[in-house]
Amino acid sequence: MGEMILPNRESAVADGQFLARLQHVGKSFVSAGKRSEILSDVNIDIAPGEFVSVIGPSGSGKSTILNLLAGIDMPTSGSITYDGSRVRGVSKTIAYLTQHDSLLPWRTVAENVGVPLEIRNVPAPERARAVDGILAKVGLEGYGKHYPRQLSGGMQKRTMLARTLIYDPKTILMDEPFGPLDAQLKLALQAELLRLWTGTGKTIVFVTHDIAEAITLSDRVLVLSSQPTVIKHEERILIPRPRDVHEVRFSPHFEAHYRALWNAIELRREQAVA
């Protein structure tokens, strides 16, 4: 059995050198004059190279947590540190695939994937090389000139993945990236994501509704309570890597992890997706 490369992970944790830390984080929103507390006392430590999933009921604050980590929103109380310093704005080393991200329909695949480099003023020839490289990596070689509408749902997701990865971020935040896809396609994209991540040492924080998906991908799964939200449960996934997305569910650990997470999560029946 091959081994996943997680550089300095154990020693980093022992030294207290977490890549990202949320300490006693609270978050309230005021809307229509009414203040509501969404996060109450959220504590999360993420080690460098770790794959952490966050699951929880709809409205529990999963996207809010990613927004805070990404630095596009600020906590009401508590502190968030990333790479040793307080998060005060958007970090150049964090890529964020939000729940609402989509491709620009009037731009080709290559033009969509190149957007993060355009924003960084990378010259066109260098950009074109980078785009070609990343398209090959995600299995979209030769599709650069296509428009999003000419692609299948899975290929559109791959394009978004390529756009997220193109500037080689150290940390990737993903908010329900494979949400609306059918089960087979989801498995294919999960396999792709694991393949792209393995050996890179990149840290991924992955939000999903899907318990099986969280188990399949993660080193650790955090379960949020409903509001005001705290981390209700933490499950360390013991399934060895490398993992075959089609085989993990037959691992002796899978059922125990599934039960523990199912019992911890407060899904309403109609939201239950597995």
Binding site for Mg ion (CB under 5 A): 62-63, 99
In the complex, minimum distance from the CB of residue 63 to Mg ion, in angstroms, rounded to a whole number = 3
Closer to ligand ADP at the Cβ: 80 or 162? 80
Q: Which residue is nearest to Mg ion (CB)?
A: 63
Is-contact 215 244, C-beta < 8 A?
Answer: no
Q: Which does 29 bind (CB under 5 to 8 A by kind): Mg ion, ligand ADP, none?
A: ligand ADP
* Nearest alpha-carbon partner for 213 in 35, 23, 51: 51
In the complex, minimum distance from the CB of residue 58 to ligand ADP, in angstroms, rounded to a whole number = 5
In the complex, minimum distance from the CB of residue 139 to Mg ion, in angstroms, rounded to a whole number = 27
Closer to ligand ADP at the Cβ: 29 or 262? 29
Q: Which does 59 bind (CB under 5 to 8 A by kind): Mg ion, ligand ADP, none?
A: ligand ADP
Closer to Mg ion at the Cβ: 79 or 99? 99
- How far is residue 20's CA from residue 96's CA, in Å, rounded to a whole number? 15
Catalogue the E-assigned strands of 32-145. 34-46, 51-55, 77-82, 85-86, 94-97
Q: Which phi and psi (to 5°) does residue 131 adopt? A: -65, -45
In the complex, minimum distance from the CB of residue 30 to ligand ADP, in angstroms, rounded to a whole number = 7
Say if strands 85-86 and 231-236 run parallel, antiparallel, or are unpaired: unpaired
Q: Which does 189 bind (CB under 5 to 8 A by kind): ligand ADP, Mg ion, none?
A: none
Q: Which phi and psi (to 5°) does residue 140 adopt? A: -120, 30
Q: Which residues bind ligand ADP (CB under 6 A)?
A: 29, 31, 38, 56, 58-64
Closer to ligand ADP at the Cβ: 89 or 125? 89
Find where tokens 């949320």 sit: 22
Q: Identify the DSSP state of 140.
A: -
User: How is residue 97 written in tokens?
Assistant: 């695939």
In the complex, minimum distance from the CB of residue 56 to Mg ion, in angstroms, rounded to a whole number = 9
Encoded amino acid at 40, one letter: S
